[in-house]
Amino acid sequence: MKKRAAKRLDYEKELRRQGVRITRQRSAILGILSETEDHPDALEIFRRAVAVDPSISLSTVYRTMKLLGDIGAIHRHAFEGGPSRFEHATDHHDHLIDIETGDVIEFKSDKIEQLQDEIAKSLGYDIVHHRLELYGRKRRTG
């Protein structure tokens, strides 16, 4: 899954456009989000943010994730068991979670996406969003 790193400035630009203030704390979080390629949870983002701005609070991380989610700059995933995990918004894709390591692997299937649309349509619905998560374990190549 190729992912173009969103630029911190892209985020800030979008925030300003929405009349939202760029605070020191938000800059720190945006910096972290823009350069991360994984799916960290709020606490992990908080830990990374503290390294940049020790005064930041977990509340602010949560509030910022909420804000960014609302404007569509990030996506929130509630994988089984754990807390919500975040990633900067990119093209839609789904996830395979390694149930032994917790690793998250991204994938995309146009066929599945299309079948979903057909199923929804046949039931009289339009899909607004969906969630497809595969939980598996690495096949031991014996």
Partner DNA sequence: AATGCAATTGCAAATCGTTTGCAACTGGTG
Partner DNA sequence: CACCAGTTGCAAACGATTTGCAATTGCATT
Interacting residues with Zn ion (CB under 5 A): 94, 132
Matching residue, tokens 């969003």: 129
Question: What residues form DSSP beta bridges with 105?
Answer: 96
Q: How far is the CB of 108 from Zn ion (least distance, A)?
A: 7
CA 102, 43, 138: angle at the middle one, nearest 5?
5
**Residue 87, binding choice from a second copy, Mn ion, DNA, none, Cβ under 5 to 8 Å by partner class:** Mn ion
Q: Among DNA, Zn ion, Mn ion, none, what binds residue 64 when CB lies within 5 to 8 Å by partner kind?
A: DNA
Pick one of 26, 39, 48, 88: the residue that binds DNA (CB under 7 A): 26
- For residue 52, state whether it binds a second copy (rule: CB under 8 A): no
77 binds DNA (CB under 7 A): no
Member of 78, 82, 92, 102 binding a second copy (CB under 8 A):
78
For residue 43, what are its two tokens?
Answer: 């606490």
Element (H, E) at 87: strand 85-88
Cβ partners under 8 Å of residue 85, min gap 6? 39, 40, 41, 76, 77, 78, 79, 104
Looking at beta carbons only, is 41 or 87 nearer to Mn ion?
Answer: 87
Torsion-angle region of 42 (φ positive above 0: left; ψ -120 to 50: alpha; else: beta):
alpha
98 sits near a second copy (criterion: CB under 8 A):
yes
131 binds, among a second copy, DNA, Mn ion, none (CB under 5 to 8 A by kind): a second copy
Interaction of residue 109 with a second copy, rule CB under 8 A? yes
- The residues, ordered by sequence, that sit 6+ positions from 37 with a Cβ below 8 Å of its Cβ are 3, 5
Residues that bind Mn ion (CB under 5 A): 87, 106
